[in-house]
Amino acid sequence: MDMSGQERIEAPVEAVWRALNDPEILMRCIPGCEKLEKGSDTQMTATVVLRVGPIKATFEGAVELSNLNPPHSYTISGEGKGGIAGFAKGGAHVLLTEDGPGITLLSYTVKADVGGKLAQLGGRLIDSTARKLAMQFFSNLADQLFHETASA
């Protein structure tokens, strides 16, 4: 699965960068995230419960950040295992650019593979679920940043 897109976020680049690297904020933004722990500045582990079509699974996984260019870009890669449901692995390149005063344009390119029962569901269902989860994540991120800047 390949997916790319852009999101305009009403917050400065530095604030978006901090949020994308803050496990507490990310945990509130990632749909189904039950646990997110930072192992180092470039590694995190997570537990996420997801439903893809008829399959609901708990995924345990790890992600690593590379190609860091704070506060403008990085590459995130990882793998999650969902037991009998299968696995997902992949990565994303994230780029943050200023798009006016206090506005950040977040561009992303994602490549992912799934295996096991998830792979049997078909590409359309997986793609639509991935797009829905991405939309939820960005909506949650925008809400978190709005509340962060409102309380500052």
The Cα angle at residue 144 between residues 47 and 19, in degrees rounded to 5: 70
pLDDT given for residue 35 in this prediction: 96
Q: Provide the β-strand partners of residue 126.
A: none
Q: Is the dihedral of CA 42, 95, 81, 89 positive or negative?
A: negative
The C-alpha atoms of residue 38 and residue 118 are separated, in whole angstroms, by 27
Q: Cα separations (Å) of 16 from 13, 21, 101?
A: 5, 9, 14
Q: Where are the domains of the chain?
A: 2-151
Q: Provide the β-strand partners of residue 98.
A: 104
Residue for token digits 């797009």?
131
Could you read off the pLDDT tens digit of each residue along the chain, which spans 152 residues? 889 999 999 999 999 999 999 999 999 999 999 999 999 999 999 999 998 888 898 999 999 999 999 999 999 999 999 998 899 899 999 999 999 999 999 999 999 888 888 888 878 888 888 888 888 998 999 899 987 766 76
The dotted CATH code for 2-151 is 3.30.530.20
Q: Are 20 and 142 in contact (CB under 8 A)?
A: no
Q: Are 6 and 103 in contact (CB under 8 A)?
A: no
pLDDT given for residue 100 in this prediction: 94
